Amino acid sequence: MNKRIKIAVAGVGSCASALIQGVEYYTRNQNETVGLMYPEIGGYRLCDIEFVIGFDIDARKVGRPLREAIYSPPNCNMRVIPEDDFIEVINADAKVFKGPLLDGIAPHMRNIDQSITFIEDTTSSELTDEEYRQLLISHEVDILLNYMPVGAEEASAWYIENAIDAGVHIINCMPTYISTDDAQRLELKAIKRKVTIVGSDMRSSYGASRLSEILQGSLMDSGLEVTQHIQMNMAAGSTQGEEHIINGRSANTDFLNMGEKSRLHNKHISKENVLTGQSEVRGRGMAGRTIFAGPSLTVVQRPGGVYQGTDNKICNIDIVAYGFGGARYELTARLSVQDSPNSGGIVADAIRFCKVAQEMGIVGYLRGPSAWTQKSPPLHMTTSDAKSECDALARRQLTRLTERQVHPITDMTNLVYTFQKSVTEYE
Ligand SMILES: NC(=O)c1ccc[n+]([C@@H]2O[C@H](COP(=O)([O-])OP(=O)(O)OC[C@H]3O[C@@H](n4cnc5c(N)ncnc54)[C@H](O)[C@@H]3O)[C@@H](O)[C@H]2O)c1
Query: How many angstroms separate the CA atoms of 309 and 251, rounded?
Result: 8
Centre of ligand 1 from the C-alpha of residue 104, in Å: 9
Centre of ligand 1 from the C-alpha of residue 118, in Å: 10
Residue 408, preceding peptide bond in cis (omega within 30° of 0): yes
Centre of ligand 1 from the C-alpha of residue 149, in Å: 4
Centre of ligand 1 from the C-alpha of residue 201, in Å: 11
175 CB near ligand 1 (under 6 Å): no
Centre of ligand 1 from the C-alpha of residue 409, in Å: 34
Cβ neighbors of 212 (< 8 A, separation 6 or more) are 229, 231, 274, 275, 293, 317
150 CB near ligand 1 (under 6 Å): yes
Percentage of residues of the chain with pLDDT beyond 90? 71
pLDDT higher at 197 or 261: 197
Among 176-185, 304-313, 400-409, the least confident range = 304-313
Centre of ligand 1 from the C-alpha of residue 229, in Å: 27
Q: Which ligand 1 atom sits nearest the alpha carbon of residue 256?
A: 19
Query: How many angstroms separate the CA atoms of 38 and 69, rounded?
Result: 28
12 CB near ligand 1 (under 6 Å): yes
pLDDT at res. 258: 82
Q: Which ligand 1 atom sits nearest the alpha carbon of residue 159?
A: 32
Contact (CB, 8 A) for 22 and 348? yes
Q: Please write down the HEC assignment for all residues of the chain.
A: CCCCEEEEEECCCHHHHHHHHHHHHHHHCCCCCCCCCCCCECCECHHHEEEEEEEECECCCCCCEHHHHCCCCCCCCCCCCCCCCCCCCECCCCEEEECCCCCCCCHHHHHCCHHHCCCECCCCCCCCHHHHHHHHHHCCCCEEEECCCCCCHHHHHHHHHHHHHCCCEEEECCCCCCCHHHHHHHHHHHHHCCCEEEECCECCCCCHHHHHHHHHHHHHHCCCEEEEEEEEEEECHHHCCCHHHHHCCCCCHHHHHCCCHHHCHHHHHHHHHHHHHHHHCCCCCCCCCEEEEEEEECCCCCCCCCCCCCCEEEEEEEEEEECHHHCEEEEEEEEEEEHHHHHHHHHHHHHHHHHHHHHCCECEECHHHHHHHECCCCCCCCHHHHHHHHHHHHCCCCCCCHHHHECCCCCHHHCCCCCCCCCCCCC
174 CB near ligand 1 (under 6 Å): yes
pLDDT higher at 338 or 45: 45
Straight-line distance from the first to the last Cα atom of the chain, in angstroms, rounded to the nearest whole number: 48
Average pLDDT, the chain: 90
Among 109-123, 216-230, 375-389, the least confident range = 109-123
Query: How many angstroms separate the CA atoms of 161 and 158, rounded?
Result: 6
Q: At residue 26, what are phi and psi to the nearest 5 degrees?
A: -75, -20
Query: How many angstroms separate the CA atoms of 152 and 164, rounded?
Result: 18
Mutate to test the pocket of ligand 1, among 154, 156, 203, 254 (most ligand atoms within 8 A of CB): 254
Predicted confidence (pLDDT) at residue 236 exceeds the cutoff of 80: no
What is the set of domains in the chain, with CATH numbers? 5-204+341-413 (3.40.50.720), 208-340 (3.30.360.10)
Query: How many angstroms separate the CA atoms of 266 and 178, rounded?
Result: 8
pLDDT higher at 277 or 374: 374
Residue nearest to atom 25 of ligand 1 (CA): 11
pLDDT in tens, 139-171: 999 999 999 999 999 999 999 999 999 999 999
pLDDT in tens, 166-189: 999 999 999 999 888 899 999 999
Query: How many angstroms separate the CA atoms of 354 and 362, rounded?
Result: 9
What is the pTM assigned to this prediction? 0.94
Contact (CB, 8 A) for 106 and 17? no
pLDDT at res. 210: 95
Query: How many angstroms separate the CA atoms of 280 and 287, rounded?
Result: 11
Residue nearest to atom 9 of ligand 1 (CA): 174
15 CB near ligand 1 (under 6 Å): yes
134-160: b (≥16 Cβ within 10 Å) or e: ebbeebebbbbbbbbbbbbbebbbbbb
pLDDT in tens, 194-227: 999 999 999 999 999 999 999 999 999 999 999 9
Centre of ligand 1 from the C-alpha of residue 84, in Å: 24
Query: How many angstroms separate the CA atoms of 93 and 287, rounded?
Result: 55
Query: How many angstroms separate the CA atoms of 285 and 113, rounded?
Result: 45
Contact (CB, 8 A) for 394 and 221? no
Cβ neighbors of 223 (< 8 A, separation 6 or more) are 323, 324
pLDDT higher at 288 or 379: 379
345 CB near ligand 1 (under 6 Å): no
Length of the chain equals 427
253 CB near ligand 1 (under 6 Å): yes
Q: Which ligand 1 atom sits nearest the alpha carbon of residue 55?
A: 33
Query: How many angstroms separate the CA atoms of 351 and 41, rounded?
Result: 10
Residue 300 pLDDT level (bands cut at 50, 70, 90): low
Residue 419 pLDDT level (bands cut at 50, 70, 90): low
Query: How many angstroms separate the CA atoms of 241 and 15, rounded?
Result: 24
Predicted confidence (pLDDT) at residue 425 exceeds the cutoff of 60: no
Among 7-11, 67-71, 214-218, 411-415, the least confident range = 411-415
Mean pLDDT, range 298-324, rounded to an integer:
74
Contact (CB, 8 A) for 255 and 299? no
Residue nearest to atom 11 of ligand 1 (CA): 147
Residue nearest to atom 22 of ligand 1 (CA): 13
Residue 209, preceding peptide bond in cis (omega within 30° of 0): no
Residue 109 half-sphere exposure, CB side, CA atoms within 13 Å?
28
